[in-house]
Each structure stands twice: as structure tokens, then as C-alpha cells.
Amino acid sequence: MPRELTQNRIQKLWIPCKDDRASMPSRAGDPHLANPPTVIVMVGLPARGKTYISKKLTRYLNWIGIPTKVFNVGEYRREAVKQYSSYDFFKSDNEDAVKIRRQCALAALRDLKAYLSEEGGQVAVFDATNTTRERRDLILNFGMENNFRIFFIESVCEDPEVIATNIMEVKVSCPDYQDCNKTDAMADFQKRIACYRQTYQPLDPDNNDRHLSFIKVIDVGRRYLVNRIQDHIQSKIVYYLMNIHVQPRTIYLCRHGESEDNQQGRLGGDSGLSVRGKKFAAALGGFMEGQNLKGLKVWTSQLRRSIQTAEAVGVPYEQWKALNEIDAGVCEEMTYDEVKEKFPEEFALRDEDKYYYRYPRGESYQDLVQRVEPVIMELERQENVLVICHQAVMRGLLAYFLDKSADEMPYLKCPLHTVLKLTPVAYGCKVESIFLNVEAVNTHRERPEEVKRGPGTLIRRNSVTPLTSPEPLKKPRIDGLEESIIPETVPKTLSLCAAAHLPLAMASPNMKRCATLP
């Protein structure tokens, strides 16, 4: 006897009634939930983009609703060894340091395990060099014990220019070198790399590692070697990695010019631009020309207002149906007041949980993210792009670039007549907001204060729920170090550029002196 179905009020998903005894699990919202957790293991010499890839991949996975977190062993090491002295710490014969580093890796794995087993994580990224077979075997055993799938991402690059650029972009400004000048930092870091190189055993697809699942990214994406993809998530990860690039470029996000519906406070619809909206379109054309971009692509939705806006920019544009505004279903073309009057319950439910709330016969922000995902993938492939879209869509895209959670997404500020200029920088994205000086109505509704927040509505593991990439642990516990050698060997006032005497364990006789100490 089939179970009775009821439609849950916020997401409008059909689920079996709760009072039914025969409870077979049904997973509404998004498929592929049955898989075991995955540990992504980065592999590669320093300055090969491992942390860049880790962070970017994590941001993407969280945005599409797969809870993911990075565990960066370097941070654990900085916690354990308060002051970085020099590259000597990384010498393979520095036994004390080797012990500390191992403990850090184990601590990171311990936290990783907790994340996947107890905290609802689905994917964990183990960001470290993992350049020896020994270390990777340790991780493989760890995976086997805990029933985690292991997927390696190895970044191989021998282009000296790329490496030097990486070091300048993210290494010289890292905490390890905060008291150093750039040249010294660069020199020390190069020596650090040399330490690792001595014991580096790359993944070997022909023999030793032929049964492992991995992707080797060679020369920043010129070539890839993909071995034994096991499941959907690994396939998506590979696809994503093969589409991202590091060429400098800029993404411009803006909404269509003010529309006639906007002026009346109506949602959705397909109206044309108001007089002010047309002014904005012209201003946008002027602004984009002033940006002097090479090869700009312009994308719009298939709604009139965004196309009218693009027409004024004066370059060929492509229409994407996927960029259409969120479908407000039965509420299309109503004002908020009309919605409140005709559908008071719906109005209240939306405020209760704006991300998951699906308009009757319409969409939710959650649906929007799924629909817009191919646009994100193509944005990653492209270089300079101007996307002329709509409020909810722009919030969805912005949440991806700025790593905002599902909770924040529906309340991101995306006002009319304002261009957001996004430039990738280091591990993230710089945003500049440029108001083009044409007045428009405000269409932003703040999160109402007095709303009773629903009990975390049906947040299923892996339903399409962007989560902000979790903050790395500020103070990772590193067990097993208490009894060890640290107190004697970590010099308190030491830094790379210290003038003081250096305990043998941490320093080399040829320390270069440089800038002053704190």
C-alpha cells in the first residue's frame, strides 16, 4: 500500500506523511546521497597551486551544496611552531622537525575525520605536499579504516616563471615571512622547495599507483592525467579542475536597467526598461568601453529587460535561458503587497527560509543554483565577461564568487544600476562596486527581524545548499607534541631575520640577516 504524500510547505517537495509506519528513506531535493565521504588529497611541491586549488574547489563544492572543508597542514604547523625560522625546518634530515610535521599531519587527519564522521561533512580536502609514498600510504590506510574514498590531486609544474609568480603572489606575504623582505623570502622559499624535492615521489600511474584514483594536473592545466574515477563526485571534480584557469581576467556582474515592473514594485514578469533603465543601459555601454577590455563577452538572460540593456553596450551578446530571473510561479507580476494579501501564508514562509522557499509553481534559490551551475562552469572557462542578469540570479552568482552561504545568499545586496567588478586575486576575489549614477528604485528586501525562524527546514546532507567554506580551525590541537622536543627547540624570539643565536635544530649556520624583529 503506497504511502500518502504531503507537500512540505517551504520547499514544495512531495514526501511521505510522517505518521506512516513503513518508513523507507526517500531523498527529496538532490540525488547521489548514498556515497561514502571523500577525502581529496593534494600532492605536489610547494608553490604548485595546491592551496589555490583546494580553496577554489571547496568553494565550488559548497556552492553546489556538498559540504566541504579544507584542512591545511601548514596552518597546523604554524600553530605548533609559533615562529618560522627558515627553510632548515623542512630539511629531510631534521629529525625533530620531521616528527613535528608528522604530528601536524595526524592532527589534521583527526580533525578531518571528525568533520566527515560527526559534523556532516561530505568532502574534506587534505591540503599538504604529501610528496612521499610513505605519507600517502598513511592516508590510504586512514581512508580504509574509516571507509572514506580517497582521491588525489597532484599538481606538477616545472615552469620557473609560474612558480616565481606563485611565490610572489601568496608566499612572500604569508605569516611565515611577515618580517622579511621579498627577496629574502623568495630565496628561502626556493630552498624550502629544494628540501621537498629530494624526497618527492610523484604519483606513478604505470606501476606503484595504478590502482589509485587521481588526477595529475600538469603545467597549470595544459595536460591532465586522470586515473580510475570512481564516482559522480570525482567526475565533477575532474570536470571542474579541467575548466578552471589562472589567466588574469575580470568578471562584471550587473542587473538589467530599471524596468517598468521594477517601478511598480512588481516581481518577475518580462517588461521593458523604464526611461531611467535606458539611461543606465547607455551608461553601461560607456562604462564598459572605458574599461578597455580585450575580447569581452556579454551574456544576458532571455528576458527583455536584460537584452535591451545589452543592446546598448554595442557588442555581440549571448542569451542564456539559465540566467532568467527566479520564477515566482503564481506570484509572477504581483507586488509584494499583493502577494501578502493574496497568499499571506506563502509570504510568511518565504521570510522564514528564503533560500529553500519555492514559490507555488515556481522556483527557489536552491533551484536557481542548480540551474545556474552551467553558467558558472562556463564563466570559469572564459576570460573577460559581463553578465547582465537579475537580482536573485546575481545573488546566486555572487555567492559563488564570494563564498557566501545559503543563509546569506538571498540577502546579498545587488542594487540596480550598479556594476560589481570581480577580479581574482591570490586565493580569492576582489570586488569593486560601481554605481553608474542613474537613479533607480530599491528592490532589496532585508531579512525581517520579527520572523520566527523555522527549525532548520529539511536541510539534508548534500541537498543543494551553498555553505560558506568553513573557517579553518584557529587553534588546531596537536596531540602528542606535549611530551616532545618542542620546548627546547622552538626559539621564542626567532624569526627568519633574527640576529640572535639560533639553536641548532632550527637553523643553519649561514643564516642571512635582514630586517628587524618585532
Partner 1 sequence: MLYNMSSEQNELTQTPLLKIWVPWVHSTLSRRRGSSVPQFTNSPTVIVMVGLPARGKTYISKKLARYLNWIGVNTAVFNLGQYRREAVQTYKNYEFFRPDNEEAMKIRRNCASNALTDIGAYFTKEQGQVAVFDATNTTRERRGLILSFAKEKGYKVFFVESVCDDPDIIEQNIMQVKLSSPDYENCDKEEALEDFLKRIECYKMTYVPLDEEKDRHLSYIKIFNVGSRYLVNRVQDHIQSRIVYYLMNIHVTPRSIYLSRHGESDLNLLGRIGGDSGLSTRGQMYASALAAFVQSQSIRDLKVWTSHMKRTIQTAEALGVPYEQWKALNEIDAGMCEEMTYEEIQDHHPEEFALRDQDKYRYRYPKGESYEDMVHRLEPVIMELERQENVLVICHQAVMRCLLAYFLDKSADELPYLRCPLHTVLKLTPVAYGCKVESIFLNVQAVNTHREKPPNVDINRKTEDALQTVPEHV
Residues engaged in binding partner 1 (CB under 8 A): 2-3, 5, 7, 12-14, 16, 22, 24-33, 205, 222-229, 232, 235, 238-239, 242-243, 270, 272-273, 278-279, 281-282, 285-286, 289, 299-300, 302-304, 307-308, 310-312, 314-322, 332, 361, 367, 370-371, 378, 381
**Strand, coil or helix: what is 21?**
coil
Least distance to partner 1, CB of residue 304, Å: 5
* Crossing angle of the two packed helices 73-80 and 95-117, in degrees rounded to 10: 120
Task: Report how far apart, in Å, the C-alpha atoms of 42 and of each of 45, 135, 145 are.
Answer: 10, 12, 20
Least distance to partner 1, CB of residue 13, Å: 6
**Nearest residue (CB) to partner 1, 133 versus 245:** 245
**Nearest residue (CB) to partner 1, 114 versus 275:** 275
Residue type at 214 in one-letter notation: F
**Nearest residue (CB) to partner 1, 2 versus 456:** 2
Alpha helices in 334-406 (DSSP H): 336-342, 344-352, 365-381, 391-402
Least distance to partner 1, CB of residue 291, Å: 13
Least distance to partner 1, CB of residue 164, Å: 23
- Give the whole-angstrom CA distance, residue 299 versus residue 23: 46
Least distance to partner 1, CB of residue 288, Å: 10
**Nearest residue (CB) to partner 1, 314 versus 454:** 314
Examine the residue annotation and report whether 256 is marked as an active-site residue of this protein. yes
Phi and psi dihedrals of 29, rounded to 5? 110, -60
Alpha helices in 199-259 (DSSP H): 232-243
Q: Which residues are annotated as a binding site for substrate?
A: 255-262, 305
- Give the whole-angstrom CA distance, residue 63 versus residue 355: 13
- Give the whole-angstrom CA distance, residue 455 versus residue 447: 17
What does DSSP say about strands 5-7 and 14-16: parallel, antiparallel, or unpaired? antiparallel
Q: Which residues are annotated as a binding site?
A: 255-262, 305
Examine the residue annotation and report whether 325 is marked as an active-site residue of this protein. yes
Please report where in the chains the cell 556582474 appears, as a residue: 253
* DSSP state letter for 471: P
Least distance to partner 1, CB of residue 101, Å: 32
Q: Is 24 exposed, middle or buried (0-12, 13-18, 19+ CB in 10 A)?
A: exposed
In sequence order, what are the residues at sequence separation of 6 or more whose Cβ sits closer than 8 angstroms to the Cβ of residue 3? 16, 17, 20, 22
Active-site residue, selected from the candidate residues 79, 232, 245, 256: 256
**Nearest residue (CB) to partner 1, 206 versus 450:** 206
**Nearest residue (CB) to partner 1, 267 versus 494:** 267
Alpha helices in 249-390 (DSSP H): 260-264, 275-290, 304-313, 336-342, 344-352, 365-381
**Nearest residue (CB) to partner 1, 216 versus 350:** 216
Least distance to partner 1, CB of residue 219, Å: 10
* DSSP state letter for 12: -
Active-site residue, selected from the candidate residues 75, 325, 352, 373: 325
Extract the C-alpha cell encoding 288. 564598459
- Give the whole-angstrom CA distance, residue 59 versus residue 466: 9
- Give the whole-angstrom CA distance, residue 447 versus residue 388: 25
What does DSSP say about strands 251-255 and 385-389: parallel, antiparallel, or unpaired? parallel
Catalytically annotated residues: 256, 325
